[in-house]
Structure 1
């Protein structure tokens, strides 16, 4: 689609892409803002419609919508006016889920200790763990590991240097592991036959 296309054609393209991408947008928003996902998607679609003239090609439309959604989610997170969580980077770097599970041995007599641990988590449990991550790490983790974007694409979406995104991905993985262990401890998932 070239820039000379009439607005009506762009709006029709937007409608097609929005219908197709709606479930994906909702999944991404659920993982970033939790219960505010529907509102974030609605904000995204409204902003996308208002800027439909920026939509140039069908092949880029999906990434364009995700970028708008990420910005809407970030706005919602900022709007919550929570203080920035302090993250102990040293403790996070030293934590190893693999070593902790092996040391704690929550499922004695198991030949597949780590798989048994992961099997205790439902989809909702994983979502709750994700929501515990600071926004700084949550957004890149969701986009790269759960939505399949390349780190450089995420860097462009967030208008952040690639090295910064890579560092946030590394720290985000470590923080996710740490939060998984905490969540499992708090919710009694570390007992054999807990579910």
Structure 2
């Protein structure tokens, strides 16, 4: 288990994309390595096995279970986020070498989760209300507290930096002959790392 790795379990939908990018940015800016199911695109890698491997390698986990709307095509909800949260908590509970894992869990509103996943009623759930800035602030504070690293900046600073990164992103991707729709998870991580390195020169 790597003390630098942070497993990100959140919706991958278009309407959550900016929140997802904010989480990645906050993790990198705080001095950690973001990990998620999108980091590899290997058709020979079974997705469940990949998720289990990433969870086993990650000391920290960020879980957003706020996406509970019914899918328009199927009329059913998507259960990936609660499922991956269960895997993470199960690893912490039943594997002695995983007991040091730490997690932060988000929902859209306080106590809403009790209507669809009441088994985690004893957990400390954070409500971000869909606000990206609040999401960043809570994650930064949690990483600083959970890791006991004094080098993790305050969330307000990171939120301001993320706004600046988002402003500069179109210029950066144009220089690389890319567009927003072309960007992969690896592109996002690379661009954020590059922007932060230039900022700190």
Same fold, TM-score > 0.5, yes or no: no
The two structures have a TM-score, normalised by structure 2, of 0.26
The two structures have a TM-score, normalised by structure 1, of 0.27
Which structure shows the higher strand fraction?
Answer: 2
